[in-house]
Each structure stands twice: as structure tokens, then as C-alpha cells.
Amino acid sequence: MTPLALAIVFIAAFTHASWNYAAKRAGGGLPFVWLSGTTALVLYIPVVGAYWWWQRPELPSAAWAVILGSGLLKTAYSLLLQRGYRHGDLSLIYPLARGTGPLLSTLAAIIVFGERPTPLALAGGASIVACVFYLTGGASLLHQSRAHLRTAAFYGLTSGCLIAAYTVWDQRAVSHLHLPPVVYDAGTQTVMFCLLTPFAWRRRDEVAREWREHRWHALAVAVLASTGYVLILTAMRFTPVSYIAPAREISIVIGAFFGAKLLKEADAPRRLLAAAGMAAGIIALALG
């Protein structure tokens, strides 16, 4: 990975952990997801307009199908992630989602694209699996008293599966179809807006309440999520996904720190240690 790609990924990691912190503080569901996504789309309009006037990009015919697929994946991811934050702590959900995502992305790159990992990368993957087990409490997660944690872990792991899916999907879009990252991400936001608007309209009273109580959180999510992901898409244009996906997950340590120290969540030592172990495994994946 080049120094430029590494710098982009680290900046994106911080913005990603920061918008997840804002999303956890909001604690909303579909109305908040629609509000933050719509805010992002509104902010994209002048940016995409200026880019289009400046570059005059020509999109291939397959672009619209790829954008639609990405929008579907990210809509499901956003809703599941927000549901996870309503059931569990940031320091639990965020490492689960972000830690399993790169592992699955790497597996997909191996199976679908024929990439071959080194023994170091395989050791990194095993470390991530072990740390996920430790983070969730191991076998004690099966106890009836921890049913709420099982639900939270389910949403975290499912979000990780969707992260893996859209990471691989988007990398092929920007590297093979050469879609401009700004246009591509704005397109996926448009798909999300179209999918969620009918449901948001039925729950417009909740949307209004989210606006009154959490509009600054929605703005933070809109700005930070879009900025961070455009940076990642830019790096994907000249860096393999098997490097990008693991390296960006240094954000799990940042996210776990935000949950443990800023939100004062329980079981902080275990979660910080597990997050650090997952980060080490991710670095091993990247180096491998």
C-alpha cells in the first residue's frame, strides 16, 4: 500500500468512528437513517453539480445497475447498524461490525477474485475470530441472562457481513468501471432516499422529532460518513481491496475508545483489549 493510500485510509478511519459515535448518541431508527441520508444527498447536489460541470464524466451503461446494488446493500447496512446501536453499546457493536467486515471482505477477495493470502494473513484472520469470541463473552453469551447481548451481537455481525459485501462491490465499481467516487456515492445516497422515503413519510412525526432533537447528529453523520467513504473509494481506485478493507479497520480501536471513555460504557477493559487484538489481526491481514 502506498503512503498516500495509507494516509487516506487513516483519515477515513477517524471520520468513520466519529460518525458512528454520533449515530449511537442519536439512537434512532429508520427516521434518523432517512434524515441523515437525505441531509447527505442535499449536501451532495452542489458538489456533484460542480464536478459534473468540471469533468464531464461519461458513465458506462452498467453504472446504474452497480449504483442500485450498492444502494440496496447500504440501505440494509444502515438500518441494521442503527438497530444494533439501539440494542447494544458502541464499544460492542462497532468492533463486531468493523472487525468481521474486513475478514469477510478478504475471504470474498480470495474466493471470488482469486487473491491468495500469506500465512501471516491467515494468522491475522484467526486473531480476528478469536477476538470476536472474546469480545462477545465467549460461551457465556449463551446464558439466558445475556439474551440482549446476543441480539446486539447478531446485528453487529450482520452489519459486518453487509460491510464485506458492499466493500467488495464498490471496489469493483470504482476500479473496473472507473466511476467517480463522488458521483458513485451520491448515486447510492439517491437510491437510499428513494427506498426509505415512503416509510419515512408514514413516520413523518418521528422524522420531525429526530430533526428537533438530533439534527446536529444527523448533520455529523451526513458529512463525516460521506467524506470518509469518498476517501475510501478514491483509495480503492489504485489499491487492492484486500489492502484497503483491513487497513481502514484501525477505526475499531477509535470506536471502542469512544464508547468506553466518552459514553462510559460497561466492560471497557475487555472491549478495548478485544478491539486492539482485532486491529492487530487486521494489520496482519494487510501486511499479508
> Which residue has cell 439474551?
147
CA 163, 168, 173, 179 dihedral sign is positive
DSSP code per residue over 225-264: HHHHHHHHHHHHTTS-HHHHHHHGGGHHHHHHHIIIIIS-
Mean pLDDT (the chain, rounded):
83
pTM of the model: 0.82
CA 238, 255, 161: angle at the middle one, nearest 5?
Answer: 60
Of these ranges, 46-60, 66-80, 221-235, the one predicted with the greatest mean pLDDT is 66-80
Nearest-angstrom CA–CA distance, 35 and 215: 8
Stretch among 12-21, 121-130, 140-149, 265-274 having the lowest mean pLDDT: 140-149
Q: Is 194 helix (H, G, I), strand (E, B) or coil?
A: helix
pLDDT at 132: 73
> Which residue has cell 462477545?
136
Rg of the chain taking only CA atoms, in angstroms:
18
Q: For 194-245, write each residue's pLDDT tens digit.
A: 999 999 999 999 999 999 999 999 999 999 999 988 888 888 778 776 677 6
Q: Is 92 within 8 Å of 153 (Cβ atoms)?
A: yes
Q: What is the mean pLDDT of residues 259-288?
A: 78
Who has greater pLDDT, 164 or 182? 182
**Burial group, residue 112, by CB count within 10 angstroms (0-12, 13-18, 19+):** exposed
Q: What is the mean pLDDT of residues 126-143?
A: 66
HSE of 144 in the Cβ direction (CA atoms, 13 Å)? 0
CA nearest 92: which of 262, 272, 283? 272
> Which residue has cell 460461551?
139
Q: Is 180 within 8 Å of 55 (Cβ atoms)?
A: yes
